[in-house]
C-alpha cells in the first residue's frame, strides 16, 4: 500500500518569513507539494509513533493538500493525525492543539493574507512541538532536505472524508476529525472575563466583526455570537470561501475599507475588528478612531492587568524591530523587560516559551501572548473587548488618554509591491553600502545619529540572524526602516517604515501622513526609492 515515488528537487522550496508561499499553480506542479511535505518529515525526523495536527484556512487547494499530508504522514509512520473538520483550523488554533495534545508538530495550509482562488497563492507552514512556527534552523533544514530529495513515500489509498467527525484510519495511522473551534473557544473563555463582556453588551456595547470569508468566521460565530451573546449579524462574511469572496483576506485600511468607513460613520458600532486568511492577524477600530497595531500593542500591555488571564502580571514584552517604540514607553514605565526581534513571529517563540515575555506584537497587525506561540487575531480582539467592558470607556478615549500619558508615536508603513526583484535588491544594496557614511548627516532638519543593518542575537538559543532590515535612527528618536518582504509571491515588495514621537498633547491629533511628511521625503531621498523602483507612490499605506 505504501509507494516510494521517485522525484527531483525543486530549487525554490526555501521558506520565507512565514512558510513556503507560492502561486497555487506552482503547488499544483506534479510532485511539488509532495516533495515539500516529505522534506518537512525528513528534516524533523522521528515521526514513528507521533501525533501531528493538520488544518488550513479553507483556501483553494486546502483539502487536496490535506489529503496528501495524510497519505504521506501515514507512509512515514505517524501514529495519529488530528484534522479540523472540513480541513479548517486557524493558525492559533493549530498552535493550541499542538500544545494541548502534545503533538510532534503541525502543518498549517495557508498563505495568510495573500489572495486565494485558483489563480491566487497557497502556502505550507510547519510548527514545532512547542506550538510555535519552525525556527530558522528548522526552516533551513527543511530547505536543505528539499534540495537533496530523491523520493517521497505515500500511502496509495482513497481520500478521507474530512467532514465526518470522529475516527478513521489509513493503514495503522489513526485520523481524528475534530471540531476546529471548541478547544480554542474554551481557551479564550479561560483567559477573558466573558461575564464582564456580556454585561457591557447588555449595557449597549455594539460590535462588528468582519471575518473576510476566511478561517476566523466559524470561531467568531461561536465566541462572539453564541458564547458572548452579541446579536446574530455581528459577525459578517463568516463563511470561509476558497477565494475569500474574490478579495484579499488582509485586514488593512485597503482591504477592510468598508469596515473602517462604518466605524467612522455617525451610526456605526462602538468597536469593529477583522482578521486575516488564517486568523492570526487583527485589525481593531474604535468608533471614530483607527488604532495602529503598534499603538494597540502598547495599550494592551498598559492595561493587561485588568484582564482575568493577565492579573498575575506581565513578565516582559517584545516587538519586531520595525514596530513602533510606543511599547518601549509602556515597558519603561511599568518596568517590563523589553526585547526587539526581527520581523516574523518565530523570533518571539523562544522568549515566550521561556516565560521571558507575556505579550508581543508586530506592526503588521499581529499581536499575541504566551497563551499560544502564534499571533492570535481573535485573542487581541477579545483583549480589547475585555478592556472596553471593564473600564466602561470608549476606544477613542482609551487611545487618547494613552497618548496623553505616554506621548504619541506617529507611525506608518509604505509598501511598494510587485516591483522588479533585481531593482529592489540593488536599492537595498546601494543603501547598505552607504550606511556608514550617513551618521552626522542632517536632512530636512533631522539629524542622523546611527544607521545599521539589524542583526539579532537570540538570548535563549544564542543563534544570530543577519540581514533583518536597514535602520536609520535620528537624534530626535525618529526612525526609518527599509526591508524586503519575505512573504510575497510575485516580484519583490519593499517595505519602508517611518516613526516620529510627539510628546505635546496639542500636536497629537494630526493626520498621520501629514505628521510624517518630512520623514516620508527623507526616506525617498535616502533610499532613492523613485529612481530604483520606478514608482511614483507606494502601493499600500498602512
Cα separation, 532 vs 426, whole angstroms: 8
- Residue 343 interacts with which of ligand VG1, Co ion, none, CB < 5 to 8 Å by class: ligand VG1
Cα separation, 523 vs 227, whole angstroms: 47
Name which position in 13, 35, 216, 364 contacts ligand VG1 (CB under 6 A): 364
Q: Map residues 319-348 to x or -, x wherever contact with ligand VG1 holds by CB under 6 A.
A: -x----------------------xxx---
CB within 8 A of 148, min separation 6: which ones?
Answer: 9
Name which position in 34, 121, 193, 276 contacts Co ion (CB under 5 A): 276
Phi and psi torsions of 215, nearest 5°: -70, -25
Angle of the 395-406 helix axis to the 377-391 helix axis, nearest 10: 90
Is 95 tagged catalytic?
no
Q: Which of 39, 47, 90, 112 is catalytic?
A: 112
When asked if residue 367 is in the footprint of ligand VG1 (CB under 6 A), the reply is: no
When asked if residue 495 is in the footprint of ligand VG1 (CB under 6 A), the reply is: yes
- Residue 345 interacts with which of ligand VG1, Co ion, none, CB < 5 to 8 Å by class: ligand VG1
Where in 86-125 is the site for Co ion (CB under 5 A)? Answer: 112
Beta-strand pair 442-443/479-484: unpaired
Q: Smallest distance, Å, CB 150 to Co ion?
A: 33
Cα separation, 273 vs 382, whole angstroms: 10
Cα separation, 114 vs 247, whole angstroms: 9
Name which position in 280, 295, 415, 499 contacts Co ion (CB under 5 A): 280
Q: How many residues touch ligand VG1 (CB under 6 A)?
A: 18
Q: Which stretch binds Co ion (CB under 5 A): 48-56, 120-128, 269-277, 300-308?
A: 269-277
Name which position in 13, 17, 358, 468 contacts ligand VG1 (CB under 6 A): 17
CB of 375 closer than 8 Å to CB of 281: yes
Where in 65-124 is the site for ligand VG1 (CB under 6 A)? Answer: 112-113
CB nearer to ligand VG1: pick between 485 and 517? 485
CB within 8 A of 467, min separation 6: which ones?
Answer: 453, 455
Name which position in 248, 487, 489, 542 contacts ligand VG1 (CB under 6 A): 487
Cα separation, 314 vs 317, whole angstroms: 8
CB nearer to ligand VG1: pick between 238 and 249? 249
Cα separation, 333 vs 311, whole angstroms: 18
Q: Smallest distance, Å, CB 315 to Co ion?
A: 25
Q: Smallest distance, Å, CB 280 to ligand VG1?
A: 5
- Residue 495 interacts with which of Co ion, ligand VG1, none, CB < 5 to 8 Å by class: ligand VG1
Q: Which stretch binds ligand VG1 (CB under 6 A): 50-58, 360-368, 383-391, 424-432?
A: 360-368
| Own/partner pairs, 505-512, CB within 8 angstroms, 24+ separation | 505/403, 505/404, 508/400, 508/403, 508/404, 508/407, 508/408, 510/410, 512/292, 512/410, 512/411, 512/412
CB nearer to ligand VG1: pick between 353 and 502? 353
Q: How many residues touch Co ion (CB under 5 A)?
A: 5
CB atoms within 10 A of CB 187: 20
When asked if residue 209 is in the footprint of ligand VG1 (CB under 6 A), the reply is: no
Q: Which stretch binds Co ion (CB under 5 A): 21-29, 280-288, 289-297, 336-344?
A: 280-288
Q: Which residue has the closest beta carbon to ligand VG1?
A: 112
Where in 276-315 is the site for ligand VG1 (CB under 6 A)? Answer: 276, 280-281
Cα separation, 538 vs 345, whole angstroms: 25
Cα separation, 498 vs 504, whole angstroms: 19
Name which position in 278, 363, 458, 499 contacts Co ion (CB under 5 A): 278
Cα separation, 217 vs 109, whole angstroms: 17
CB atoms within 10 A of CB 227: 16
Q: 179: number of CA atoms within 13 Å, CB side?
A: 9
Look up residue 315 and give its three cell numbers.
Answer: 513578565
DSSP assignments along 377-388, one per residue: HHHHHHHHHHHH
Q: Which residue has the closest beta carbon to Co ion?
A: 112
Q: Which stretch binds ligand VG1 (CB under 6 A): 170-178, 264-272, 275-283, 467-475?
A: 275-283
The full length of the chain comes to 542
Cα separation, 431 vs 17, whole angstroms: 22
Q: Smallest distance, Å, CB 277 to ligand VG1?
A: 7
* Residues binding ligand VG1 (CB under 6 A): 17-18, 112-113, 276, 280-281, 320, 343-345, 362, 364, 366, 485-487, 495
List the catalytic residues: 112
Residues in touch with Co ion (CB under 5 A): 112, 276, 278, 280-281
Amino acid at each position: 500500500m505504501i509507494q516510494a515515488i521517485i522525484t527531483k528537487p525543486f530549487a525554490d522550496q526555501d521558506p520565507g518569513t512565514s512558510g513556503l508561499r507560492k502561486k497555487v499553480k506552482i503547488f499544483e506542479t506534479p510532485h511539488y507539494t509532495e516533495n515539500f511535505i516529505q522534506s518537512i518529515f525528513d528534516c524533523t525526523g522521528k515521526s514513528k509513533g507521533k501525533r501531528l495536527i493538520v488544518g488550513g484556512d479553507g483556501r483553494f487547494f486546502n483539502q487536496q493538500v490535506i489529503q496528501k499530508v495524510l497519505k504521506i504522514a501515514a507512509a512515514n509512520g505517524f501514529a495519529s493525525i488530528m484534522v479540523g473538520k472540513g480541513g479548517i483550523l486557524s493558525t492559533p488554533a493549530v498552535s493550541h492543539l499542538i500544545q494541548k495534545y502534545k503533538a510532534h508538530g503541525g502543518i498549517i495550509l495557508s498563505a495568510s493574507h495573500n489572495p486565494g482562488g485558483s489563480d491566487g497563492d497557497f502556502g505550507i507552514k510547519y510548527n514545532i512541538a512547542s506550538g510555535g512556527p519552525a525556527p530558522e534552523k528548522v526552516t533551513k533544514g527543511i530547505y536543505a532536505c528539499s534540495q537533496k530529495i530523491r523520493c517521497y513515500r505515500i500511502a496509495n489509498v482513497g481520500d478521507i472524508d474530512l467532514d465526518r467527525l470522529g475516527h478513521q484510519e489509513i493503514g495503522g495511522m489513526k485520523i481524528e476529525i475534530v471540531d476546529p473551534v471548541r478547544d480554542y473557544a474554551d481557551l479564550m473563555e479561560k483567559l477573558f472575563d466573558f461575564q464582564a463582556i456580556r454585561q457591557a453588551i447588555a449595557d449597549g456595547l455594539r460590535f462588528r466583526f468582519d471575518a473576510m470569508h476566511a478561517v476566523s468566521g466559524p470561531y467568531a460565530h461561536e465566541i462572539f455570537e453564541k458564547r458572548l451573546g452579541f446579536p446574530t449579524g455581528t459577525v459578517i462574511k463568516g463563511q470561509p470561501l476558497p477565494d475569500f469572496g474574490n478579495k484579499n483576506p488582509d485586514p488593512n485600511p485597503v482591504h477592510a475599507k468598508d469596515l473602517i468607513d462604518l466605524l467612522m460613520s455617525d451610526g456605526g458600532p462602538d468597536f469593529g475588528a477583522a482578521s486575516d486568511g488564517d486568523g492570526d492577524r487583527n485589525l481593531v477600530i474604535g468608533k471614530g478612531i483607527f488604532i495602529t497595531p503598534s499603538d494597540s500593542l502598547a495599550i494592551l500591555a498598559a492595561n493587561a492587568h485588568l484582564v482575568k488571564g493577565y492579573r498575575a502580571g506581565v513578565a516582559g514584552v517584545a516587538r519586531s524591530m520595525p514596530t513602533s517604540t510606543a511599547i518601549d514607553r509602556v515597558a519603561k514605565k511599568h518596568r517590563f523587560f523589553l526585547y526587539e526581534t526581527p520581523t516574523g513571529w518565530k523570533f518571539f517563540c523562544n522568549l515566550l516559551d521561556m516565560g521571558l515575555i507575556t505579550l508581543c506584537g508586530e506592526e503588521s497587525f499581529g499581536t499575541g501572548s504566551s497563551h499560544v506561540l502564534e499571533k492570535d487575531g481573535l485573542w487581541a480582539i477579545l483583549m480589547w473587548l475585555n478592556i472596553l467592558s471593564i473600564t466602561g470607556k470608549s476606544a477613542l478615549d482609551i487611545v487618547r488618554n494613552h497618548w496623553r500619558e505616554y506621548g504619541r508615536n506617529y507611525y506608518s508603513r509604505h509598501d511598494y509591491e510587485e516591483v522588479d526583484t533585481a531593482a529592489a535588491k540593488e536599492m537595498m544594496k546601494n543603501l547598505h553600502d552607504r550606511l556608514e557614511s550617513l551618521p552626522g548627516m542632517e536632512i530636512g532638519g533631522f539629524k542622523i545619529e546611527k544607521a545599521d543593518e539589524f542583526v539579532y542575537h537570540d538570548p535563549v538559543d544564542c543563534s544570530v540572524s543577519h540581514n533583518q532590515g536597514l535602520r536609520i535612527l535620528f537624534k530626535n528618536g525618529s526612525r526609518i526602516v527599509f526591508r524586503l518582504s519575505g512573504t510575497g509571491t510575485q516580484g519583490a515588495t519593499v517595505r519602508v517604515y517611518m516613526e516620529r514621537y510627539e510628546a505635546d498633547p496639542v500636536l497629537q491629533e494630526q493626520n498621520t501622513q501629514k505628521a510624517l511628511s518630512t520623514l516620508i521625503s527623507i526616506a525617498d531621498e535616502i533610499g532613492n526609492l523613485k529612481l530604483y523602483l520606478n514608482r511614483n507612490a507606494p502601493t499600500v499605506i498602512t
